[in-house]
Structure 1
Amino acid sequence: MAKIEVRNLSKIFGRRPKPALEMLKEKKSKDEILKETGLTVGVNRATFDVNEAEVFVIMGLSGSGKSTLVRLLNRLIDPTEGQIQIDGDDLAKMNDEQLREVRRKKMSMVFQKFGLFPFRTILQNVEYGLEVQAISKEERHQKAMEALKLVGLEGYEEQYPDQLSGGMQQRVGLARALANDPTVLLMDEAFSALDPLIRKDMQDELLDLQAKMQKTIIFITHDLDEALRIGDRIMIMKDGAVVQIGTPEDILMHPADDYVSRFVEDVDRSKVYTAEHIMTRPETVNIDKDGTRVALQRMRDADISSVYCVNRSRQLQGIVHAADIAEAVKRDERDIVPYVQKDVPTCSLDTPMHDLFNLTSTSSVPIAVVGEDNKLEGIVIRSKILSALSGKEVNEIE
């Protein structure tokens, strides 16, 4: 369900923007419009939805329009044209009083620069937005303490900003935004000023918080690894226009054009792809009806040295090896069950590819991918992982 709906949203910087709007409709580029009119296109007819309780990442290079867009979403700057609806109400048409109410009750923003007051304690910094709303001292103290506890800063409330690390200061900024209990959280390059290790910790922190809070989060970044790590969906922008919207997998596997392809060519795919993306359909035998001869013939036909065993419900039972089954056939044994090895390596459909490295390096057989009720969904072989890392042969199961 859409929490925010944006339709044909444009921002033109400069006087008399109408000619530029007409040129946008004619598909003129940002550079062409600047050359012909002297006007700058900030956002070019952007249309998208943000679903309830999702982390929606907007990314692009410098000048792509992502930061302008997020400021349009809470009307820090006014749109030149278009609609911005939150819960069905159009922000573009709201008067100042209605807009203040939305900012107080529904939206909060976390900036790249922490913007903390140096002479206020951490608690007083978090209380500030509530203080502006003239909320009672008791209530704002309670809400601020709850927000600090949520971001792991309980016990630091009487410290001052310069006594905290950069990562902790950013947590204070996050707590200040959360103290209002907004339904929508806007985060503009919130972690980009942090050191890489602290940045990763904050990304983990945000994901943990989101699991508890279930907010609608719009996160702005220029870092694709960050976008892939935290985003439920990603929107890529260029020259103010939306180029592609999709899940991290969509963006990596089906880039919309050369611009997106160049974006993703150097990404660490092992952090994004899962077992489901690289598994293949396995050869199996059904222990409820197949015997040793069927198993041996199946392995010979597929030119494999082992085969996974399932029951009638396709639940994984284990694996049998050609050498054992060939000996059983020589002895005219028909029952396959005594030769089923139950201790086999398994993973789930959503196991990240980088977690599969150790499994494949220590296992002499493919990794069994199991779903609900231990059903065998596929197998992962070492060569598929290597192909996926090179950006090749990542397809849906055949």
Structure 2
Amino acid sequence: MKAVSIENLDVIFGHGLERSITMLDEGKTRQEIQEETGNVVGVSNATISVDEGEICVLMGLSGSGKSSLLRAVNGLNPVTRGSLKVRDGEEMVELNGIDANKLRDLRSHRVSMVFQKFALMPWLSVVDNVAFGLEMQGMAKTERRKRAMEKLDMVGLSEWHDKLPHELSGGMQQRVGLARAFCMDSDILLMDEPFSALDPLIRNQLQDELLELQRKLNKTILFVSHDLDEALKIGNNIAIMESGKIIQHGKPEDIVLRPETQYVEDFVAHTNPLNVLRGRSLMTAIGDLEHRDNMVMLNEMEQSRLQFDSQSALIAAYRGETTLPILTWDGESDACSLPKDVIVMANADISMRNALEIRYQTGLPLLLTENDRVIGVLSDNDFYHALLGKHFSNAA
């Protein structure tokens, strides 16, 4: 089900917005509207939906409108025009024109926010910072501290519960912010560049921790970032924004392989493909390999080949006159533990990073399967093309 539904949304900051709306409809740019009216267009004609349990990353350069859109979801930025609905139990609540009491209820029970600058209260202990939202709800002290301690334990900070924020490192303070958001048990989390102020190693660690927490809690997360590698790593879907508009929205691999504008193509040009691309987008299809009788040739120099039966099921693999063992990788076990000189079959949706590790460990091409049938092969040439960015032309 949809957790957030946004249709034709405009967010404009200023006064006398009617003229700005008219200019938007006339196709005027943000700069032209600001010069004539003094108003600032934060979001223009945005349409996007976010499913329950999804991490959607709003991505763009500074001033692209990503934070303006995020803050509209909890009413911090009021809707100028269009529809913005948030799930509240079995119903979708429209924020355009919402009354103050209902908005307060949504913020208390349905939507929580994690800020870039931690937003911790320096005079409160760590546990009291985590429990603060529950205190505002009127929860008894014993119960709210119990829940806060559970969330601190979840982020590995239970031993620091009685410290003040200034006694913690930046990464630890951000964990407190995460614990506070999770403590509210809200269905939807809004995260406004929460890791951008941190050192790269700490940022990477917190990204991993967020993904692990998400596997356990399955929240709906809208995450603002200006770091494309971060967006590609954590997002189920990515919305790229420019000048207040959403110019492309889709899965990370689709964004990288099929950029719809020159702006997006430039944006993803230097992306590290290891965490993004999947085997099926890189592979050479079985039908494109050389066939000899009932054999498919993998490597002419090494005389490695596959033998299939009349139903296209794999029977055996050979290198020269030697029969090679065939293993199936389950996607969970450590690829680094695979032996040499083994043909490995893996699901076609395997990540490039895991596929490359398997190729390195076994010294042989990797077979990709779908519905228990081999559909393609990943060899060195496929990996070289991906690392050099040649996958763009293949996808097209």
**Shorter-chain TM-score: what band?**
0.7 to 0.9
> Does the 8 Å CA contact 2:113/2:190 hold for their aligned counterparts?
yes
Give runs of aligned pairs for residues 22-33 of structure 1, distance below 5 A.
22-33=22-33
> Does the 8 Å CA contact 1:278/1:395 hold for their aligned counterparts?
no
Relative to structure 1, the CA distance from residue 307 to residue 395 in structure 2 (aligned partners, 3 Å threshold; closer, same or farther) is farther
Corresponding residue SS for 2:162:
coil
Any idea what the Cα deviations from partners look like across 1:299-338, whole Å, max 9, x if unmatched? 49x99822223456655444123x429xxxxxxxxxxxxx
Query: Aligned residue for 2:368?
Result: 369
TM-score, structure 1 normalization:
0.87
Query: Aligned residue for 2:142?
Result: 138
Corresponding residue SS for 1:356:
helix
> Is the counterpart of residue 355 in structure 1 residue 354 in structure 2?
yes
Query: Aligned residue for 2:336?
Result: none
Query: Aligned residue for 1:308?
Result: 306
Query: Aligned residue for 1:56?
Result: 56
Corresponding residue SS for 2:142:
helix
| More strand by percentage | 2
Give runs of aligned pairs for residues 1-398 of structure 1, distance below 5 A.
1-87=1-87, 88-282=92-286, 294-295=293-294, 299=297, 305-310=303-308, 316-321=314-319, 323-324=320-321, 339=323, 341-342=325-326, 343-361=342-360, 363-371=362-370, 375-393=373-391
Query: Aligned residue for 2:331?
Result: none
> Does the 8 Å CA contact 1:284/1:308 hold for their aligned counterparts?
no
> Does the 8 Å CA contact 1:280/1:397 hold for their aligned counterparts?
no
Corresponding residue SS for 1:391:
coil
Shift of 1:394: 5.3
> Does the 8 Å CA contact 1:283/1:308 hold for their aligned counterparts?
no
Relative to structure 1, the CA distance from residue 68 to residue 284 in structure 2 (aligned partners, 3 Å threshold; closer, same or farther) is closer
Gaps of 5+ in 2: 327-341
Shift of 1:37: 2.4
Q: Which runs of 4+ in 1 moved over 4 A?
A: 310-317, 361-364, 394-398
Corresponding residue SS for 1:93:
coil
Distance across 2 between alignment mates of 1:394 and 1:259:
15
Distance across 1 between alignment mates of 2:365 and 2:354:
14
Relative to structure 1, the CA distance from residue 160 to residue 262 in structure 2 (aligned partners, 3 Å threshold; closer, same or farther) is same
Corresponding residue SS for 1:345:
strand
Shift of 1:112: 0.2
Shift of 1:159: 2.0
Aligned residues: CA RMSD: 2.7
Distance across 2 between alignment mates of 1:43 and 1:372:
43
Any idea what the Cα deviations from partners look like across 1:149-184, whole Å, max 9, x if unmatched? 222222221122122221111010011111110000
TM-score, structure 2 normalization:
0.87
> Does the 8 Å CA contact 1:121/1:158 hold for their aligned counterparts?
yes
Corresponding residue SS for 1:27:
coil
Distance across 2 between alignment mates of 1:215 and 1:313:
44
Distance across 1 between alignment mates of 2:297 and 2:41:
62
Query: Aligned residue for 1:329?
Result: none
For 2:354, the aligned partner's letter is D
Distance across 2 between alignment mates of 1:217 and 1:254:
24
Corresponding residue SS for 2:306:
strand
Gaps of 5+ in 1: 286-292, 326-338
Percent of paired sites with the same residue: 40
Relative to structure 1, the CA distance from residue 378 to residue 299 in structure 2 (aligned partners, 3 Å threshold; closer, same or farther) is closer
Which sits farther off after the overlay, 32-41 or 376-385?
A: 32-41
